[in-house]
Amino acid sequence: MNELRYLNGYPPEVLGQVEKLIKNGQLATWIENKYPTLHDLKTEKSLYNYTLAIKNQFLKKSAPLSKVIYDPKIHLVNHALGLHTFVSRQHGKNLKAKNEIRISSLFRNAPEPLLRMLVVHELAHLKEKEHNKAFYALCCHMEPDYHQLEFDARLYLTYREFNE
């Protein structure tokens, strides 16, 4: 069996259940039953509007977003599904700051709840830079099922890896 690289750190009992699903060819069925439809946010404009709606609902007073895009250069091997970057540029005497969110292109064709979890994760970095207790509390405030969706996203990545 291949290494379950997206599930590092989970208890052996959980890994055993996932390995059994893979061995029996049932992981794909489980994913497809739990998330039968994919989102229709295929363009970067629709992704930006989707992200902005979530931001405006929960983080109205946070810094504005200048860009939200699908990025084919994000490497899943580096455990990055999305990136939040804060870019500062000097324009004469003025310092211009931009917040950008980049989502792995893999999620262009994914179930909407998994995309939402990733967007929520990157938006939480507007307020909390580190993955600490406050960061995860903010994620759960914006998406109450955040932890389950994060696990399901890891299962989705495992499913894609074993079905390519």
What confidence tier does 24 reach under pLDDT thresholds 50, 70, 90? very high
- Find the largest Cα–Cα distance for the chain: 63
State the pLDDT at residue 164.
Answer: 72
State the pLDDT at residue 98.
Answer: 82
**Which comes out higher in pLDDT, residue 145 or 66?**
145
State the pLDDT at residue 13.
Answer: 97
State the pLDDT at residue 77.
Answer: 47
**Which comes out higher in pLDDT, residue 162 or 75?**
162
The domain tally of the chain equals 1
pLDDT over 70 (residue 86)? no
Q: What is the mean pLDDT of residues 6-25?
A: 94
Range of the domain at 100: 5-162
The answer to whether 95 and 19 have CB atoms below 8 angstroms apart is: no
pLDDT over 90 (residue 25)? yes
**Which comes out higher in pLDDT, residue 73 or 19?**
19
State the pLDDT at residue 2.
Answer: 58
Supply angle C-alpha 32, 71, 101, rounded to 5. Answer: 100
Q: How far apart are CA 158 and CA 156, in angstroms?
A: 5
- Which amino acid belongs to residue 133? K
pLDDT over 60 (residue 148)? yes
The answer to whether 63 and 97 have CB atoms below 8 angstroms apart is: yes
